[in-house]
Amino acid sequence: MLNTPTATRLARLPRLYQTENTPISDKLIHLHFFIGSCDWFIAEYDGDDLFFGFAVLGGDWQNAEWGYISFNELKDVRAHGVLHVDCELEHYWKVRKSSEVLEDYAPPEYQSGR
């Protein structure tokens, strides 16, 4: 993995289920992992291996979904055997609501359809 988040950065994430009563559109996205046309937007972390967030695989916004993501498995993802998953650097990634992330990343037809 390129630009693995630091322990300090990971410690700032809410723990799993801590934002359970927060509406999806208001959940804060703390991390953005990406490779090619795949994106993982992270809202919670168990402090060990498990993230909760929104995954868009292969640019397929129609089938994108919220769920659990293994940090260790994400670290091992490779494309063409050489490209690694990257984590957007802290000074570039602005923590913001998932609804704002969708405005920035999702195609218009996805934004209006959800």
Dist. CA 46–CA 10, nearest whole Å: 10
Band (pLDDT 50/70/90 cuts) for residue 114 is: very low
Domains: count for the chain: 1
Provide the pLDDT for residue 112: 53
Report yes or no on 37 lying in a domain: yes
Report yes or no on 1 lying in a domain: no
Range of the domain at 37: 7-113
Its sign, for the CA torsion 68, 85, 29, 65, is negative
Provide the pLDDT for residue 88: 94
Report yes or no on 33 lying in a domain: yes
Report yes or no on 2 lying in a domain: no
Q: Which residues contact 106 (CB under 8 A, 6 or more apart)?
A: 61
Report yes or no on 74 lying in a domain: yes
Per-residue model confidence as pLDDT tens digits over 2-22: 899 999 999 999 999 999 999
Provide the pLDDT for residue 81: 72
Per-residue model confidence as pLDDT tens digits over 44-65: 999 999 999 999 999 999 999 9
Cβ neighbours of 11 (radius 10 Å): 10
Report yes or no on 52 lying in a domain: yes
